[in-house]
Structure 1
Amino acid sequence: MIESNERKTGKELLMILVKAVLWAVLVYFNINKPAFYLEYPHLSNVFYGLLVFLGPSLTLSILRLVVIYWYIRKHHFKNNIRDNFILGISRIVSILNTLVFIVALMLFFGIDPKEFITGISIVAAAVALTFKDYVTNMINGLIIMFSDRLSLGDHIKMGDHEGKILDITLINMILQNDDSDMVIVPNSVAFSSVIINQSKQNTKKLSIEFEMGLHNGYTPEYLENHLKKVMEQYAANVVSGGLTVKTLSINKDVVVFKAMVLLKHYDKVKEREIRRTVNTELIRLSASLKS
């Protein structure tokens, strides 16, 4: 990972160097105006468009590296860190590069950007209204990226969805659930939802709801003591006294219980193992009475 990150940084520095050389050559041509530069007006438009694009693009690339370097050194992160702030800076630079490229493209075709923007202001307003959901998603995505509430790699629960944050784009948040399925959630939905960030907690709560027939006569106290004995094998994973059973509702024939196990830290494998153990024991309790 570190080696690939160093290769990526090396490529970025090489691209900055190439951009700087091309920009310097184009500045020279634009100032001295050689003969071929004047003979071919279309070529001059191409060079001028490239000059307009490379200047801001080069500046943005340098600023991005400087800001990321400062951020990593300030927080004493590793060089291969994947962080929301770095992701947000990269997305903003991509947006600005796209805008600069559009302006350069106009100059390439000999179009005055000011006149073009003025001429299509009404159309632009209609387009913005049409794509307002995408704009909202982009804004919400940037807010999430620069927030310290959520980070790449965090395990979160959001409504019916639960999983690890793999990526945050300008449009969606991508989760990986316990079944290794990719769940794509629009940023506007994520921004307006109640999110439980389990990775920011020192502990992880495991909840299991189950039903027992009234004729069984099981009480919350009995079930709690019984499951505590079963959980002794997981003493290294379960908080001491962190297993409780409470009654959710009492119906005509059944009682709905909820068992809550407080884990010391998030461990998907152990959580799945503990959940299976509790479920198995509850099935055995029900089966023993039926037999």
Structure 2
Amino acid sequence: MFTVKERKTSNEFIVILIKAVIYAVLVYFRIYKPMLYDEHVFVHQLTSAVFIFLGPSLTVSLLRLVIIVWYIKKHRLKSNIKDNFILGINRIESILNTVFFALAFIVFMGNDPKTFLTSITIVAAALALTFKDYITNMINGLIIMFSDQLSLGDHIKVGEIEGKIIDITLINMILQNEDNDMVIIPNSVVFSSVIVNQSKQNIKKLSVEFHILLHYGYTPDYLENYLKKVMVNYAAYVVLDGLSIKTIAIFKDEATFKVQVLLNKYDRQKEREIRRELNTAIMKLSEKRDQEESAEVTRAGNGVN
């Protein structure tokens, strides 16, 4: 089963401390310039590249930590909480670190960053055009992360896909459906789709669609009252008057109905039990009428004889 991960605050401090120590050593090298530093071009380029990467990266890490601490204190959250805002800050840090690493690699290869970036402007434009869908996904992902409409742990429905949000990356949103499968949806699809967020309403809607032969004579009111009696054992989990029957379609020989049950809280185990109970009751209803019809035919046959 997938779970929403918590932040490991101790690891964050350790990473920042390691960066700070390495950066301090590099500052010492650049100030005092040991003999090894001047005699070997490779060492000079390597330390310069690491210096260019670590300086901005350490600054961003410290700034990120300050923002997260401020955010947690402002909203009185747990220190290891991982919500959308913190997730968005983490993704921005990852993007910036990627940029810093690219600049450091350019320096390591012996190129001047300004000259190199100027020379590849046209190439960069072509790459941006080629990877526009990827970039769009990243932008949509960041918008979703900083939005208060969707949060980690929310139970949502995107089109025909339903599940709990367990992660939001720069490319995809990852849902856990009722079968515990991991469903990956591109952020661009999520951003452009109609989304039903059942967690924001503090309810969970359970739906079961079924077909009934018309000659059975069951009306929507009869089916609704029948299934309400079935739900008596689950009254603690169902919203008062939260069961309803909708007629979806009527054909020549059968009608399609949908029973909807509003649960007052999200409980995967109880949802499965209720769904199974509804399916069983509907099957018994059809079986009962088939048996009655069979009995009528038998009585009619005996009467003729």
Same fold per superposition (TM over 0.5):
yes
Superposed counterparts of 1:88-127, under 5 Å: 88-127=88-127
Q: CA deviation at 1:5?
A: 6.4
Distance in 2, matches of 1:99 and 1:190, equals: 27
The 3 A distance-change label for structure 1 pair 211 and 60 is: same
Q: CA deviation at 1:80?
A: 2.0
Distance in 2, matches of 1:101 and 1:128, equals: 19
Superposed counterparts of 1:14-163, under 5 Å: 14-163=14-163
The 3 A distance-change label for structure 1 pair 66 and 258 is: same
1:196 and 2:182 equivalent? no
SS in 2 for 1:199: coil
Distance in 1, matches of 2:243 and 2:105, equals: 64
Q: CA deviation at 1:249?
A: 2.6
Q: CA deviation at 1:256?
A: 2.0
Superposed counterparts of 1:127-276, under 5 Å: 127-276=127-276
Matched AA of 1:92 = I
SS in 1 for 2:245: strand
Q: CA deviation at 1:38?
A: 2.8
The 3 A distance-change label for structure 1 pair 28 and 201 is: same
Q: CA deviation at 1:194?
A: 1.0
Greater Cα offset, 15-24 or 53-62: 15-24
Matched AA of 2:261 = V
Q: Which runs of 5+ in 1 are unaligned?
A: none
Bigger radius of gyration, 1 or 2?
2
Distance in 2, matches of 1:25 and 1:273, equals: 61
The 3 A distance-change label for structure 1 pair 10 and 226 is: closer
Relative to the length of structure 1, the TM-score reads 0.93
1:38-89 Cα offsets, whole Å, 9 max, x none, are 3334322222222211111111111111111111111111122121111111
Relative to the length of structure 2, the TM-score reads 0.89
Distance in 1, matches of 2:183 and 2:130, equals: 26
Matched AA of 1:19 = K
SS in 2 for 1:149: coil
Q: Which runs of 5+ in 2 are unaligned?
A: 292-305
Taking only the aligned residue pairs, the percentage that are identical comes to 64
Q: Are the equivalent residues in 2 in contact too, given 1:5–1:79 (CA < 8 A)? A: no
The 3 A distance-change label for structure 1 pair 11 and 214 is: closer
Residues paired across the two proteins, number: 287
1:287 and 2:287 equivalent? yes
Distance in 2, matches of 1:227 and 1:41, equals: 80
Greater Cα offset, 105-114 or 203-212: 203-212
Q: Are the equivalent residues in 1 in contact too, given 2:9–2:79 (CA < 8 A)? A: no
1:147-177 Cα offsets, whole Å, 9 max, x none, are 1111111111111211111111111111111
Matched AA of 1:36 = L
Matched AA of 1:199 = S
Matched AA of 1:268 = R
Q: CA deviation at 1:94?
A: 1.0
The 3 A distance-change label for structure 1 pair 246 and 184 is: closer
The 3 A distance-change label for structure 1 pair 101 and 260 is: same
1:173-199 Cα offsets, whole Å, 9 max, x none, are 111111111111111111111111111
